[in-house]
Amino acid sequence: MLEIKSTDLANFLSKEQPSTISIILGFLPSHKVAEILGFLDDDLRTEIILRLASPTPTKQDIVSRIEQVFIRNVVSKIASKKGKDEKDIGGPKMVAEILQSLDKELGDQMLGAIQDSSPDLASEIAGQLFTFEDIAKMTDSDLQRLMRDVPMEKLPLALRGVKEELFEKFAGNLSKRARENLLEEMELSGKVKLSEVHIVQKDIVTLVRSLEAAGELSINIGGEEEEYV
């Protein structure tokens, strides 16, 4: 499918009704939706995220009508699907993924807007968010798999200011020498902007999500650890 720039999509969609925009975005990947939302006005963005937060059934004939006012290549793969007369778009899981693709400030703002509208829905979405701190709940084997793909030079920055439990989770899965190097790097580095720390942590969370999607590790989101017998 033709790749269309998020800025172009945002410009095109901004001329449509929020209900139409929400349906269209409901068919796009979460990371693409997050990019597009970043280019929309605050009020419009808030209304769209509220609509997306609640799953909305939409029939194939609605998609066909939207296709007439939208770029054909964006929805062609949806309209051509057979055997599916209707589809639920949006929902807490999708919005959680969108929020995690946004920068932290904007993501918090969007979750706050949902909280003001529906505390129960906001709580459900929050329960599906995986944060950097949630890495402390991962098994050692999963964390070791993750750390194979995390550049070691990023770890000192990512672990700045984290709780001792999380630091020890990472440090405990390092060799003695690697742990000593980590501590040394953290001691020698000067002050860093919190925004820089968040960027690196977000990159690692994105990596966790991609590895989970590939079936290479599992994560526990919201709730207690699974029990095994």
* Model pLDDT for residues 117-165, shown as the tens digit of each residue: 888 888 888 878 888 999 998 999 999 999 999 998 999 999 999 999 9
Q: What pLDDT shows up at residue 140? A: 93
Say which residue, 56 or 95, is predicted with more confidence. 95
**pLDDT of 228 strictly over 70:** no
How far out from the chain centre does Cα 178 lie?
30
Report the alpha-carbon distance of residue 88 to residue 140 in Å, rounded.
Answer: 37
Region of poorest pLDDT, from 12-26, 34-48, 66-80, 147-161:
66-80
Say which residue, 184 or 189, is predicted with more confidence. 184
Q: What pLDDT shows up at residue 156? A: 94
Q: What pLDDT shows up at residue 23? A: 82
Say which residue, 107 or 200, is predicted with more confidence. 200
Q: What pLDDT shows up at residue 192? A: 86
Say which residue, 5 or 164, is predicted with more confidence. 164
Residue among 9, 10, 5, 4 at smallest CA distance from 41: 10
Q: What pLDDT shows up at residue 89? A: 61
Q: What pLDDT shows up at residue 220? A: 63
Domains (ranges, CATH) in the chain? Answer: 7-126 (1.10.220.30), 132-213 (1.10.220.30)
Q: What pLDDT shows up at residue 206? A: 83
DSSP sequence for the chain: -----HHHHHHHHTTS-HHHHHHHHTTS-HHHHHHHHTTS-HHHHHHHHHHHHS-EEEEHHHHHHHHHHS-HHHHHHHHT-SS-SEEEE--HHHHHHHHHHS-HHHHHHHHHHHHHH-HHHHHHHHTT---GGGGGGS-HHHHHHHHTSS-GGGHHHHTTT--HHHHHHHHTTS-HHHHHHHHHHHHHS----HHHHHHHHHHHHHHHHHHHHTTS-----SSPPPP--
Instruction: State the average pLDDT over residues 87-104.
Output: 77
Report the alpha-carbon distance of residue 153 to residue 182 in Å, rounded.
Answer: 9
Report the alpha-carbon distance of residue 71 to residue 115 in Å, rounded.
Answer: 33
Q: What pLDDT shows up at residue 62? A: 60
